[in-house]
Amino acid sequence: MSDLPRKAVTRTAKLAALPLGFAGRATWGLGKRIVGESAELVGRELQQRTAEQLFKVLGELKGGAMKFGQALSVFESALPEEVAGPYRAALTKLQEAAPPMPTRTMHAVLEERLGANWHELFEEFEDKPSAAASIGQVHRAVWHDGREVAVKVQYPGAGEALLSDLSQLSRFARLLGPLVPGVDIKPLITELKDRVSEELDYGLEAQAQQVHAEEFEDDPDVVVPAVVHQCEQVLVTEWIDGIPLSEVIADGTREQRDRAGQLLARFLFSGPARTGLLHADPHPGNFRLLPGGPDGEDDWRLGVLDFGTVDRLPGGLPTPIGQSLRMALDGAAEAVYRMLCAEGFVKGSVELDPDAVLDYLLPIIEPAQVEEFTFTRGWMRSQAARIADPRSPAYQLGKQLNLPPAYLLIHRVTLSTIGVLCQLGATVRLREELEQWLPGFAAGSAGPEGEDPEDEQEAAEA
């Protein structure tokens, strides 16, 4: 019997209590206002109590609730500053840890999957987990050949819990929406559900991780631990030490923040080009900053963990992304609009003003317009507010755009990565990475009909 709290009635009751709790605290806040406390003070207390309950429940339940919390955490930068404060500490907790399963349960899984003599596979094994997340926890150990390893053990019943939680969360997605302005919660939950079976399959995860480990084996900037052993519910990989990105976000130096941001952007765009796979879970808990980069011990490399969710892109990121981005930077409104229509971002039944579409896109792609860009929470909040404000022309136009299924995961990963860069406050040479790794972006790249984007725009204007 699993110790993961997964019985439907128990889990449903805990999750269903969340919107009731929100309503109860709103009533409490009204009462405090009536007796004379300031709206600002009451608002802050209300936000803090809401955050504490929401993320306490998500963390306790693990499963899909925990996975949703981790996905949501990278959008913290989009929250208005007066709201973000009470949420930030609670969100950060979800990026690194969750309550572990009891030792007896973990031992039972190892015995069932590795055999009664599983201890003989290890010279040392730490029963206390070094990390615990949505569907499994990680133990530090020494493999029988002397290598330090990370042993990832899946929670019994994790699949059932994932699907149950995400189904329940989707029922009150509208209530959770205000947590992150500009992010539609329901499609996020739906997309997480679609990835459940892949994330539970440690065989697929091992394949994806080993492909990355081999490709980045001698890379001066990125470290991916190799796979040592894999079986159902258990994955053993090489151990890497380093500073969790959540700690760099909390109190890293300027040098660490900028280096982490540059390498994160580099990995996001180079990974698909080099492996045909996109790491699709870019929350800070999955990255480490390791000393000893190309310039010695004072430099840093990026350690990348957890390949349970990937997008398979055999040709790398879709070329139309790079082409449309380049054309937008060149001001080719008509060409950009035609490509968006061709790719399904504008449905056939909708007709939009190409110049208005370009005006909508330009603030979002500002980081690619300059040689280096400093990502900040303030910039992220301004973008979220612009798109989420019903009075804004951007909001009205955004409602008419469509996100094709083929681009859904790429879109979420890109948004999530930008969220982490804003949490870091990193100054990044993003354009440099795009020029090298994003198909279709390099200056002079051919447009959709094999024409240069600038020539195509001149023809359109003529």
pLDDT in tens, 206-243: 999 999 999 999 999 999 999 999 999 999 999 999 99
pLDDT band at 272, cuts 50/70/90? very high
10 or 451, greater pLDDT: 10
Q: With beta carbons less than 8 A apart as the criterion, state whether 345 and 401 touch.
A: yes
pLDDT band at 288, cuts 50/70/90? very high
Structure confidence at residue 60 (pLDDT)? 54
* Pairing verdict, β 148-154 and 234-238: antiparallel
Please, what is the Cα angle at 232 between 231 and 238, to 5 degrees?
A: 45
Residue 388 has pLDDT above 50, yes or no: yes
Q: With beta carbons less than 8 A apart as the criterion, state whether 242 and 303 touch.
A: yes
CA neighbours closer than 13 Å in the CB half-sphere of residue 347: 10
Query: Comparing C-alpha atoms, which of 212, 216, 2, 167 is closest to residue 68?
Result: 167
Q: Where are the domains of the chain?
A: 319-461
Considering 54-58, 98-102, 270-274, the range whose residues carry the highest mean pLDDT is 270-274
44-58, 229-243, 430-444: range with lowest mean pLDDT:
44-58
Structure confidence at residue 172 (pLDDT)? 58
Share of the chain above pLDDT 70, in %: 66
Residue 261 has pLDDT above 60, yes or no: yes
Q: What are phi and psi of 126, to 5 degrees?
A: -90, 115
Structure confidence at residue 391 (pLDDT)? 83
Q: With beta carbons less than 8 A apart as the criterion, state whether 75 and 415 touch.
A: yes
Query: Comparing C-alpha atoms, which of 345, 363, 359 is closest to residue 410?
Result: 345
- Residues 6+ positions from 215 with CB-CB distance below 8 Å: 224, 274, 275
Structure confidence at residue 170 (pLDDT)? 67
Report the amino acid identity of residue 189: I
pTM: 0.77
Residue 49 has pLDDT above 70, yes or no: no
Q: What is the mean pLDDT of the chain?
A: 79
